[in-house]
Amino acid sequence: EAGVAQSPRYKIIEKRQSVAFWCNPISGHATLYWYQQILGQGPKLLIQFQNNGVVDDSQLPKDRFSAERLKGVDSTLKIQPAKLEDSAVYLCASSLGTPGRQFFGPGTRLTVL
Amino acid sequence: AQTVTQSQPEMSVQEAETVTLSCTYDTSESNYYLFWYKQPPSRQMILVIRQEAYKQQNATENRFSVNFQKAAKSFSLKISDSQLGDTAMYFCAFSIPETSGSRLTFGEGTQLTVNP
């Protein structure tokens, strides 16, 4: 069974630039999550999708972050414009629905200079 | 507020020995799930063990077991016969299905190093 795929693995940008991350969940997983993990901290949920609908985006900084999950499969997370404090690892996870049983991708490490 | 606290930022253990990682949490909900996730240096987060709050029996998975004390809101992870491959960051987390779906709330993590 293929795992959760994410790209790119690493990204370096200047502040005020834009960046986008892509996630392909495990086939058949209806629930998709984006987490932000700042160095030395635990992951923090940014947004949760159920199929192509948003379930929870209460912690997403909507003035600069956006996410979509067209057709209920792949998802993209965008930051525009980026700030220094956005430097972090962005993790994508997917789930069949078992509470808390999530499968994580390798993450994208973003560095904002 | 729902919070998870891991008071040990770093721990080390000798290979083949036993180590216990601590976790406390705070919630007013009665139905929830607790987890330990492992994040090796490659960064792929992996589920280690899962505990339903309504079950009194502590969960075990091979060399991994938990000590779940519901009244004390404590959920520690014991790793027996530690192996070099157990070196990783360990995160305690919980999920409250009724109020927050299947989202996970994580602690700050404990970096475990297994020494040869």
List the end-to-end C-alpha distance of chain B, in Å, as a whole number: 41
Pick from B44, B101, B105: CB nearest A48: B101
A53 touches chain B (CB under 8 A): no
- Tell me how far apart the alpha carbons of residues A84 and A1 are, in angstroms, rounded to a whole number: 37
Q: From the candidates B103, B105, B111, which should be mutated to test the interface with A, based on the most A CB atoms within 10 A? A: B103
Pick from A42, A89, A100: CB nearest B108: A42
Of A46 and B96, the structure prediction assigns the larger pLDDT to A46
In chain B, alpha helices (H)? 97-100
pLDDT of residue A98: 76
pLDDT of residue A89: 96
pLDDT of residue B100: 63
pLDDT of residue B24: 97
- Dihedral angle of Cα A55, A56, A62, A68, to the nearest 10 degrees: -40
Is the confidence at residue B97, as pLDDT, over 80? no
Is the confidence at residue B101, as pLDDT, over 70? no
State yes or no: cis peptide before A61, omega within 30 of 0. Answer: no
- Minimal Cα distance from A41: which residue of B? B108
Structure tokens at B9: 């930022």
pLDDT band at B6 (very low <50, low <70, confident <90, very high): very high
**Over residues B70-91, mean pLDDT:** 96
User: Tens-digit pLDDT profile for chain A (113 aa)?
Assistant: 689 999 999 999 999 999 999 999 999 999 999 999 999 899 999 999 998 899 889 999 999 999 999 888 999 999 999 999 999 999 999 998 777 789 999 999 999 99
**Over residues B47-74, mean pLDDT:** 94
Closest CA to B72 of B24, B28, B18, B8: B24
- Tell me how far apart the alpha carbons of residues B51 and B67 are, in angstroms, rounded to a whole number: 10
pLDDT of residue A1: 64
Query: Cα-atom radius of gyration of chain A, to the nearest Å?
Result: 13
Is the confidence at residue B36, as pLDDT, over 80? yes
- Burial of A77-110, coded b for 16+ CB within 10 Å and e otherwise, reads bebeebeeebbbbbbbbbbeeebbbbbbbbbbbb
B40 touches chain A (CB under 8 A): no
